[in-house]
Amino acid sequence: MQTEDRATEIVRKRYDRNAPLYDLMETLIESSSFRKWRALLWGKVEGSKILEVGAGTGKNFPYYPPDVEIIAIDFSGKMLARARDKAAKQNVKVDLRQMDVQNLEFEDNTFDTVAATTVFCSVPDPVRGLKEIERVCKPGGKVILLEHVLSANLILGGLMNLTNPLVVRISGANINRRTAENVTRGGLVAERVTDLWLGIFKLIEARKG
């Protein structure tokens, strides 16, 4: 097994393990700010064919725009199972597929918008994943990411770097990624980065050139 495949499998197992309690674990943050941030992101999607990367348990379902085709992927089978159950109960029209953003099974230039919420903190090779997003996005298409990133504050950023190994082991998510910079490294054109909270949570808007 290649190194990146081994890393992906480790993260996948962590999310499979956390799936039954995932929604409960994030109740506090969802009830505070995340709901309005999700609504903000989904209010910015464009076009009629949308890809959601990292659908998880389906937390974005209530914010999907009407009358569009949405394919939502996740690499954790157990997270996806909970999303399928939620989609059925909420009567959400979505095509759910198990897939890794680092190896998207779509043709080039397929989607008008690609959206993700707190996903690239967990992708083992985030630049590879962003390059895949760039590939499947249509020319001029939009990419919108809601992500937590490394703080530019030296003290807070240092604390995030210090505690990151423990956080990764518990949750599978890195808290010290530089996702705005990685978007550019992935071949996308960054248009706007909006600070949502303390320079840690950001809404990143980009396009395929």
What is the distance between the alpha carbons of residues 20 and 111, in angstroms, rounded to a whole number?
A: 31
- What per-residue confidence (pLDDT) applies to 75? 95
| Cα–Cα distance, 157 to 152 (Å, whole number) | 6
What are the tens digits of pLDDT across the range 24-80? 777 767 767 899 999 999 999 999 999 999 999 999 999 999 999 999 999 999 999
Q: With pLDDT > 90 as the criterion, what percentage of the chain qualifies?
A: 86
Domain that holds residue 124: 3-207
Judge residue 187's burial from the number of C-beta atoms within 10 Å of its C-beta, 0-12 exposed, 13-18 middle, 19 or more buried: middle
Per-residue model confidence (pLDDT) at position 4: 59
Q: Would you tell me the crossing angle of helices 77-90 and 3-18 to the nearest 10 degrees?
A: 50
Report pLDDT for 2.
52
- Three-state SS sequence of 102-116: HHCCCCCCCEEEEEE
Q: CATH number, domain at 194?
A: 3.40.50.150
Contact yes or no for 176/152 (Cβ under 8 A): no
In total, how many domains does the chain have?
A: 1
pLDDT at 1: 40
Query: According to the model, what pLDDT value does residue 22 have?
Result: 85
pLDDT at 198: 92
Residue 14 CA to residue 183 CA, distance in Å, equals 25
Residues in a beta bridge with 114? 51, 143
Among candidate residues 201, 53, 178, 37, the one with its CA nearest the CA of residue 113? 53
CA separation for the pair 120, 131 (Å, rounded): 12
SS3 content of the chain, % helix, strand, coil (to 5): 45, 25, 30
Query: What is the predicted pLDDT for the residue at 121?
Result: 95
**Residue 108: per-residue pLDDT:** 98
Low-confidence ranges of the chain (pLDDT < 50): 1
pTM: 0.94
